Amino acid sequence: MNLFLQQLVNGLFIGSVYGLFAVGYTLVFGVLDILNLAHPAVFTLGGLTALWLVETAGLTIFQAFPIAVLIAGLLGLLLDRVAFAPLRHRADTYFSGLISSIAMAIMFESVALGVFGAHTVRFPANTVTPTIWRFAGITVTSLQVEIVLVAFLLMVGLTQFLKHSRTGKAIRAVAENERMARLLGIHVDRIIAFTFFISSALGGAAGILFGLYFDAMSPDMGRSIELKGLAVIVLGGMGSIPGAIAGGLAFGLSEVLTVAITGTSNLRDAVAFAVLFAILLLRPSGILGRSRMREA
């Protein structure tokens, strides 16, 4: 029973990182109907930049975190300017946008590879000194709690921002109908650029938390979360922020529970993709998504 509870708690921690990653992924999709496959590469570069700031520039993780998040956000602006903005008015924009985001992902990954090398790197041992708490037979470290707190703070902050702020409302207006938003005097291109900034900043933050949690980062670490992130946003409903958060948690839990039940990690990802596949066929709008024709 304790082991089961422990697994649930672990699932919650990793699920919150998945959720944070997926929120940024789904935000861009919700606004532009474009799948940004460079998001995982920004995730990687965010984590590795924070590492560089801690290791080489000698900052603490609490200083490095906001700087790395900002840099990840700037990468988002770059993505928009180079890969998405030029294609925006093409008829096949969803298709060409997908391809150009793949191109950017390849280039980002090659930069990570060139700068950091192909090996696994980790934050120095004293970056965070976690306290370990045990109660009711469950072990929780302060690092894990901090990760969940940061992840949820960012996700709740984004939700509130989209709901109440003027810019947030503009983002939702562009998501609803780009042409109408333009007619209403919203500076659509600036709003889209800003959306990319937020999305990538959140992706970078997820990369840092991921690196701290697993204590291992490499230039291809984005690939391991890329497909999971897709599964999460489909599960939650493409473009739905609460759906991405719930999907992330559900995904984290399903992962640890599959391992706990089958006793091996071999089938961990199989469950996820089987679920993704089933949802696409049975309820393409996702669990929390609004229903509409699945036409991109």
Partner 1 sequence: MVHLTYFFAVYGSLINFIGINVLLALSLYVTLSAGQLSLGNAAFAGIGGYTAGILTTQFGVPYLLSLLAGALMAAIVGFLLGMPVLRLRGVFLAMATLSFGEVVRIAAINLKITGGAEGLLGMPAYTKTWFIYLVIAVVGYFLSRLRYSRAGWSFESIREDETAASAMGINTIYYKTLAFTIGAFIAGLAGAMYAHLNYIITPGEFGFSAAVNLLIYCIVGGSRVWYGPVFGAALLTALPEILRGIGVTAGPIRMFVNGLILLIVILFLPNGLISLFQRRRKVAVSVLAGAGIGDN
Binding site for partner 1 (CB under 8 A): 33, 35, 82-83, 86-96, 98-100, 102-107, 109-111, 113-114, 118, 178-179, 223, 226-227, 230-231, 234, 266-267, 269-270, 273-274, 276-277, 280-281, 284, 294-296
Q: Which is nearer to partner 1, 3 or 82 (CB)?
A: 82
Q: Which is nearer to partner 1, 163 or 294 (CB)?
A: 294
Whole-angstrom CA distances from 264 to 33, 147, 228, 270 are 37, 26, 19, 12
Amino acid found at 266: N
Q: State the nearest-atom distance from the C-beta of 200 to partner 1, in Å.
A: 17
Answer for the pair 203, 151: CB distance below 8 angstroms, yes or no: no
Q: Which is nearer to partner 1, 125 or 281 (CB)?
A: 281
Q: State the nearest-atom distance from the C-beta of 31 to partner 1, in Å.
A: 11
With b for 16 or more beta-carbon neighbours within 10 A and e for fewer, the 171-199 pattern comes to bebbbeebeebeeeebebeebbbbbbbbb
Q: Which is nearer to partner 1, 24 or 144 (CB)?
A: 24
Q: State the nearest-atom distance from the C-beta of 268 to partner 1, in Å.
A: 9
| DSSP secondary structure letters along 159-174 | HHHHHHSHHHHHHHHH
Q: State the nearest-atom distance from the C-beta of 245 to partner 1, in Å.
A: 20
Q: Which is nearer to partner 1, 125 or 282 (CB)?
A: 282
Q: State the nearest-atom distance from the C-beta of 181 to partner 1, in Å.
A: 12
Q: Which is nearer to partner 1, 3 or 99 (CB)?
A: 99
Amino acid found at 137: G
SS3 293: coil
SS3 assignment for 227-281: HHHHHHHHHHCCCCHHHHHHHHHHHHHHHHHHHHHHCCCCCHHHHHHHHHHHHHH
Q: Can you tell me the distance from the alpha carbon of 96 to that of 83, in angstroms, rounded to the nearest whole number? A: 9
Q: State the nearest-atom distance from the C-beta of 30 to partner 1, in Å.
A: 12
Structure tokens at 69: 């998040």
Q: Can you tell me the distance from the alpha carbon of 122 to that of 209, in angstroms, rounded to the nearest whole number? A: 12
Structure tokens at 137: 């037979």
For the chain, the C-alpha Rg in angstroms (whole number) is 19
Answer for the pair 113, 122: CB distance below 8 angstroms, yes or no: no
Q: State the nearest-atom distance from the C-beta of 38 to partner 1, in Å.
A: 10
Q: Which is nearer to partner 1, 8 or 107 (CB)?
A: 107
Which of 98, 159, 150, 157 lies closest to 288, judged by CA?
A: 159
Q: State the nearest-atom distance from the C-beta of 160 to partner 1, in Å.
A: 27
Q: Can you tell me the distance from the alpha carbon of 67 to that of 70, in angstroms, rounded to the nearest whole number? A: 5
Q: Which is nearer to partner 1, 150 or 181 (CB)?
A: 181
